[in-house]
Amino acid sequence: MKAEILCVGTEILLGDIVNTNAQFLSRELANLGIDVYHQSVVGDNPKRLLEEIKDCFKKVDMIITSGGLGPTPDDLTKEIGAKFFNKKMILDEDTVNKLKDYFDKMGRSYLKGNNMKQAYFPENCIILKNDYGTAPGCIINENGKILIVLPGPPREIKPMFSNYVLPFLNNYTNGTIKSRVLRIHGIGEGEMAEKIKDLIDNSKNPTIAPYAKDNDITLRITARAATEDEALNLIKPLEYKVKAVLGDNIYGYGDTSMEEVTAKLLIDKNLSISTAESCTGGLIAAKLISYPGISSIFLDGAVTYSNAAKMHRLNVKKETLDKFGAVSEETAREMAEGIAKTSGTDIGLSTTGIAGPDGGTPEKPIGLVYVGLYINGKTFVKRLQISGERNRVRNRASVSALDFLRRKLI
């Protein structure tokens, strides 16, 4: 089965929003072994939308759309889908009742005007419940063509897909594509590609593909097979070979993040942590706290942006700041030790650096960041030099600080 992902919305063509739905749907279809040949985006324009649906159905068997289901007048995807299949639009009483309940619960009394539009569907379609919003989706399945119409908001489309579209699609999959994603930090993309060049060049099934993301590099090993187990068995030997080359630079697998990996390590080892951040300004704490269950080991964090706060909160010595400066190995060391001591934690993790756009000097250029790590009575400091603008420096510094901790924990 070949599929096209068709996102609808002038706001996407104008660049107002990032199309995360295309990513979500692509990943889900890949997991099902359904080939996504193409992603495309058209505006909220009935004529062009109809043309696109016609064109796509010449090439693929299935189109999944997102967007254009809302209450505003330019939301037209259902209507155009009905037109393509020559269907009338019919009022669905169940949906009317759910809309009434929803607006009652929200304390808004009206069910009028545009909101009613969301209760009309192409006749004989499968209606897909929207558990997180007011606009249900639908599936039209006729003459070997399947049109799956889903809402635009990410927090609506994801549960609708998982709960109602997946069971439907399971009837249409034949074989599977499985992937194993290796997440990498601490080595450049080019250097890595060179190191595993032979593996990349000589692998057909599975294939291996590197790509760089904002804060790390990912390697995806992808196998196609009749069953999931067969695919996974194809992946394993290649994964071992990659691991032999890249070692500890591989920090995790699949849909994880440096903060999740580090948080899990801390929880497993039952090591409590506190953070003292200057240039990263709360990003390390925010990242760690994004992980549920962190409250057992994350006790305290300080965002000591001013020198006064560094002295007052962390007992960094005035002489240290005067002699070496706020951005120095010595200050990073005292910050890490200070936060661990004043919080009573096993670990103290600190950052101090120059994120820019101002404040750089020839000796201490923009992008210079020191990471301090106090752990079990010892303190380590790592010097980073990060290129790019302010928030890239801050983000990379926070991920690299967590990576520094991770490597000490494993």
CB of 197 to a second copy, least distance (A): 7
For residue 184 the two structure tokens come to 């990498």
Looking at the Cβ atoms of 101 and 123, the one nearer to a second copy is 101
Q: Which is nearer to a second copy, 141 or 215 (CB)?
A: 215
Q: Would you say 274 and 340 are in contact if contact means Cβ atoms under 8 Å apart? A: yes
Q: Is 202 helix (H, G, I), strand (E, B) or coil?
A: helix
Range 148-177, binding a second copy (CB under 8 A): 153-155
Pairing of strands 62-66, 89-91: unpaired
CB nearer to a second copy: give 42 or 139: 42
Is residue 113 a contact point for a second copy (CB under 8 A)? yes
- Shortest Å distance, C-beta 124 to a second copy: 28
Query: By C-beta, is 201 or 410 nearer to a second copy?
Result: 201
In sequence order, what are the residues at sequence separation of 6 or more whose Cβ sits closer than 8 angstroms to the Cβ of residue 51? none
Sequence-distant (≥ 6) Cβ neighbours of residue 234 within 8 angstroms: 205, 206, 223, 225
Comparing CB distances to a second copy, the nearer of 247 and 293 is 293
Residue 306 interacting with a second copy (CB under 8 A): yes
Site string for a second copy, 232-271 (x = CB under 8 A): ----------------------------------------
Nearer to a second copy, 175 or 388 (CB): 388
> Among residues 1, 116, 265, 289, which is the contact residue for a second copy, using CB under 8 A?
289
Chain positions 90 to 109 lying near a second copy, rule: CB under 8 A, are: 106, 108
Backbone angles phi, psi at 5, to 5 degrees: -105, 120
Residues that contact a second copy, how many (by CB under 8 A): 108
225 membership: H or E segment, kind and range: strand 217-225
Please count the CA atoms within 13 angstroms of the CA of 77 that sit on its side-chain side. 30
Indicate which single residue of 1, 17, 232, 271 sits in contact with a second copy (rule: CB under 8 A): 17
Q: Which is nearer to a second copy, 54 or 108 (CB)?
A: 108
Instruction: Please provide the distance, in angstroms rounded to a whole number, between the alpha carbons at the two ends of the chain.
Output: 44
Q: CA nearest 146: which of 162, 120, 119, 128?
A: 128
Site string for a second copy, 334-363 (x = CB under 8 A): --------xxx-----------xxx-----
- CB closer to a second copy, 51 vs 142: 51
CB of 262 closer than 8 Å to CB of 406: yes
User: What residues from 31 to 50 belong to the interface with a second copy (CB under 8 A)?
Assistant: 36-42, 44, 48
Minimum Å distance from CB 403 to a second copy?
A: 18
| Structural contact between residues 356 and 393, judged by C-beta atoms closer than 8 angstroms | yes
- 367 in contact with a second copy (CB under 8 A): no
CA atoms within 13 A on the CB side of 376: 6
Residues 127 and 138 sit within 8 Å (Cβ to Cβ): yes
- The answer to whether the Cα torsion of 155, 160, 165, 170 is positive or negative is positive
Binder of a second copy out of 302, 336, 349, 354 (CB under 8 A): 302
Token pair 């187990």 is at which residue? 229
Q: By CB under 8 A, is residue 122 in contact with a second copy?
A: no
